[in-house]
Structures are given as structure tokens and as C-alpha cells.
Amino acid sequence: MADIILTADRTLMSDYHHNEFIGFGTCAPPNVIPDWLYSFLFFPPIEEKEGIPVAAPYGLRKIEAQLLMEGFDVLTVDPSHLSHYINGAKVLGIYVMDPFGLGPASSTFAAILKKEPFLAYYFRRLLDDPSIKAAKKQGLRIIIGGPGVWQFRYRPKFIRDYGIDCIIEGEAEKVIGKIVRNAINGDKLPTYYEVGIEETPTLEEIPTIVHPSINGLVEIGRGCCRGCKFCSVTLRPLRWYPIDKILQEIDVNQREGYTMGACLHAEDVMLYGSRNTYPEDEKLIKLHEAVVKKCSGGLSWSHCSLASVALKPGLFARLSEMIRQRQDWWGAEVGIETGSPELAKKIMPAKAHPFKPEQWPEVVRIGMGLMHDHMLIPACTLIVGVPEETENDLIKTIELIDDLKNVRSLIVPLFFVPMGKLKNENWFKETQMTELHKELLVRCLLHDFRWIDDLIGISFVGKWYAKPLRLLYTLFVRIIEHKAVKAGITIETSTWKQNKLKYAITKFKHLESGAAVAQTGRAAGC
């Protein structure tokens, strides 16, 4: 058995039906859909062979690669099979994204629905695993890393109660070996280890992953030069991987049969290879030529900025043409944050750059229009309750959402969470919501209802499981719509939609009884 076991909780060890957008569902709390069905819809467990997952979160794969390179005996294990591997292990490394549901999306859902989000529940459940508790008694050291570690600062009791030995904050490639060595030797570990700027790895010091990443995600760069005050990414230096390094990681995914495509990860894919906020045409085209040629399963982007798209419509159209040689659409997360030029100036003065912050709403309209025309489907975020926000700011954001009515997209309002340069500010609580905040939330909900059928349809085109999944998601949306109507929100419901709801409910009842039988059968088999 390996000395070092790496894992993550069940909500992270999923490929979300090969659609990262669906992963957003892990931020929600238990709701109108039975938990077993909800988890199947939004975070089905990743395929595994004897407890070894066929793919794992990219950040975990980077740490695995670094430890292997330094000669450690390390194995990444599915969370539901830890008991087979942990006995005798010296270190357990756990990767976290949003362990307590304090991230903007999950804390917003939790505040509104007043329940713990799934991702927080499953993280706690992972640490409650009796095999971890038994191994802890034998001297196992627990080390935690990943983008969600900041949340442990709000949970000191949890750290003590679960015997967590060390939490690493920041890019860990240059420090993980030293910390793991100390853990194995039984030396004292710092409860928090904040990776200093001087310990941030250079490109050459970042290893290539050794085993597949979930949904073929590969980093193309790290850092961001826009400097938004509410964001922690901005504090890291900007680095872009050479194309060869990116292709090597795609090779790793494909060699192990994980061939569904690639998700290019950067804070703004449109700025690949750039030192400032001007996209570099040649570098972007070369990158996409190489990746499209290699990935018959298609590609997606993790994030892109509206300013880069609005600045280079011709380049964006060219990239879209290249990408759509093999697929009908692609997706990315996009930050709108506000429709107010005044607020943009205060909290994200370079978000629109090289346009002026005063032009931000126009940049959003142009960028979103181009995305619609060229089939990039954005999952957009808005930030609600940021310090210094005024009524006028909210009115402008509401007006902007109305202007985006015809843009194929999801728009998700998120309560302000103190991070980055605003980390000492107060959290925004649902009790502070004014009528304007509520109005904004409702407008976003209506926008999403308007587009959701279209997005569900597009997401599963050509997949064998398209019909049943589409039916289940449609049913879920109809139930939420129904709840919204009961809560007093007026939704235009066409006869066509009403008929579809009746059809979905009939099918659901049929499926539910079938699935219940399947579940009982499995329980009896165990």
C-alpha cells in the first residue's frame, strides 16, 4: 500500500456528465428532488477501477505529479474506497474547492434555502469516514490543499475536532515535498502554511500531470493581470504554458483512454500568451489549431473575459470557427459582476481594460452579443452586496440584465464573500437584502428560466443518455418554476411548457418507481 493517499470528496470526484456547468449543482442544498436522484443528476461518482478513479481533479493531479517526481510512493483513491487503501498509509492529502459551502455560489444558495449545501455535507462525510479515524489513531497525518482552504480560517474548531495536521494555502508545487517529508518523519507541522510569493513555482517548476484530469481539464496559464479587488487570483503572478506542455497533458488524458475532449483552463483564455490585456492573435490561433487537431472530443474554456471578446470580435469569430469544426457550441464562465460603471470603477477598474471602466455595461452588451452569435454559452456571475454598492448601482445592473434578455446564457447572482483585497470586509447576508436585491435575484431567475430548456437541449445533443437526462433536468426546472410561482414570481408559462410539465411528471413517476426498485435491489445485494 502507498505511503501517501490523495483524495477529494464525492462532489469533486465526478465528471458531471462531462459538462462542467452541471457541477454548479453541487453548490445547492438538498431540495425538492430526492438526494439520490439529485446526486445522480449533478455529481454522479466518477468511474473507478478497484477504487482508483479514472480521472481526478486537476489540482490533485498536479500534487500527485510533484510527489511522484520527488520519489514518493503516492496513490490517488476514490473517496468511497479509502478503507481499502488507507491502512498503513502515513499521509492523507485532501483537495478542497469549497469545503464548508462558504464560496459565493454555495453561500448564496444556502442563505436563500437555509440548508447546508451538498458540497459541505460531502466534505464532512469524507472526514467522518471510520477508516480515516482508525488510521488517524495509527498516526496518519492529514494535509489539506486547494483553492478552498481559506475557509478553514473560519473553522478552527473543525480543524481540531478532525485532527487536521496542516493546511497549505497557495500554489504548493515547491513546498509539498518538504511538508510531506516532515509529516512522514513525524515532525511538527504548521497548522497553516501560506505559500509565499518567492515559493510560487515558475513554469519550469510546474510538473506535467501523470494521470487524467476530470473532463480533460488542462491548465494553459496561471494568474490574472486585471486586479479586481474582490478576487484572490489576482495576487498571483501571470504565467502562460508553452503549447508543447499543454499538449503533453492532453496526451496524458488521451493515453489513459480519457478522450472526451479538453477544457482549457485560465482566468481568461482569450489572453493566452499575453503580458497585458490585449489578446495575442497569433498565439491564440496556434494554440487552438494544435488543440482542435488533437481533441476529436471537442474543447471548452474554463473562463474568459468580456473585454477581450469585445476588443477582438474578428479574432473571437475565427476561434469560434475553429472550435466549431467539431462541435456546435462551447462553454465558459464569465464575470459580469455589475452593470454599474461607478461600481466597476471602484471594485474592478481594470476588468474592462483596455476599455474604460465607464464603458463596462457597453463592453458586457457587446461581448455577450458576440458570444451569442458565435455559440459560446457563458455561465455568468454577478456580485451582490459588495461594500460601497448603492441603489443606483443595483438599478443599473437590473437594467443590464433586461438588455441581455435575448442572449443565450445563465446569469447567477452571488452574495459578496470577503476575499482578495476586500478580505477584511463583512460578508453580505440575506437579512441585508433590500427590495432591489430581491428584484435583481428574480430578474436573474427569469432570465435563466427563459434559456434553460435551450441549454439543456444543446448540452446533451448526440449523447445516448440525452433523452432520460433531459427529461429529468426539465422536470427539475419545472418544479423550481412551480415553487417560484407559488412564491409569487410571475413566469410566462406557455401552453407548450405546461404540456411538457405534465409529460415530464408522468415520465418521472415511471422512472422514480424503476429507480427505487434498482436501489432496493442494490441494498439487498450488499
d(CA 441, CA 414): 9
User: Between residues 53 and 335, which has the closer beta carbon with respect to ligand SF4?
Assistant: 335
Q: Report the alpha-carbon angle 488-490-496, nearest 5.
A: 130
In the bound state with ligand SF4, the residue whose beta carbon lies nearer, of 21 and 123, is: 21
Contacting positions for ligand SF4 (CB under 6 A): 224, 226-228, 231, 233-234, 267, 305, 335, 348, 351
Smallest separation, CB 388 to ligand SF4 (Å): 17
In whole angstroms, the minimum distance from the beta carbon of 228 to ligand SF4 comes to: 3
> Taking a C-beta distance cutoff of 8 angstroms, is the pair 98, 119 a contact?
yes
- Closer CB to ligand SF4, 235 or 290, in the complex: 235
| Smallest distance, ligand SF4 to C-beta of residue 236, A | 10
**DSSP 8-state symbol, 382:** E
Angle, in degrees to the nearest 10, between helices 435-459 and 466-486:
160
Distance in Å, CB of 235 to ligand SF4, minimum? 9
C-beta closer to ligand SF4: residue 155 or 421: 421
Partners of 240 in the β-ladder: 221
Rounded to a whole number of angstroms, the distance between the first and last alpha carbons of the chain is: 26
Measured from the CB of residue 34, what is the shortest distance to ligand SF4 in angstroms? Answer: 36
Q: Which of residues 8 and 414 has its CB atom nearest to ligand SF4 in the complex?
A: 414
Minimum CB–partner distance for residue 350 and ligand SF4 (Å): 8
Taking a C-beta distance cutoff of 8 angstroms, is the pair 91, 184 a contact?
yes
The CB-of-383 to ligand SF4 minimum distance in angstroms stands at 9
Nearer of residues 300 and 305 to ligand SF4, judged by Cβ = 305
- Taking alpha carbons only, the member of 432, 390, 396, 398 closest to residue 415 is 432
Q: C-beta of 241: minimal distance to ligand SF4 in Å?
A: 17
**CA pair distance 77, 45, nearest whole angstrom:** 13
Region of 63 on the Ramachandran plot (φ > 0 left; ψ -120 to 50 alpha; else beta): alpha
Q: Reduce the DSSP state of residue 48 to 3 states and report it.
A: strand
Q: Please give the grid coordinates belonging to residue 478.
A: 419545472
Between 250 and 266, name the residue whose CB sits nearer to ligand SF4.
Answer: 266
CB atoms under 10 Å from CB of 156, counted, come to: 10
**How far is the C-alpha of 399 from the C-alpha of 369, rounded, in Å?**
16
CB atoms within 10 A of CB 343: 23
Distance CA 381, CA 337 (A): 6
- Nearest distance, CB of residue 234 and ligand SF4, angstroms: 4
Q: At what angle do helices 281-294 and 313-323 cross, to 10 degrees?
A: 10
Strand partners, 228: none
Separation CA 493–CA 502 (nearest Å): 13
Asked if 29 contacts 116 with a C-beta cutoff of 8 angstroms, the reply is yes
Shortest distance (Å) from residue 424 CB to ligand SF4: 18
- For ligand SF4, which is the closer residue by CB, 184 or 233? 233
From residue 85, alpha-carbon distances to 54, 65, 70, 235 in Å are 16, 19, 21, 37
Q: CB-wise, 179 or 411, nearer to ligand SF4?
A: 411
Q: What pairing do the DSSP bridges indicate for beta strands 192-194 and 166-169? A: parallel
Judged by beta carbon, residue 106 or residue 234, the one nearer ligand SF4 is 234
Question: Nearest distance from residue 223's CB to ligand SF4, in Å?
Answer: 9
303/437 with CB nearer ligand SF4: 303
Identity of the residue, 14 or 305, whose beta carbon is nearer to ligand SF4 in the bound complex: 305
Close Cβ partners of 43 (under 8 Å, ≥ 6 residues apart): 10, 11, 14, 16, 22, 23, 25, 26, 118
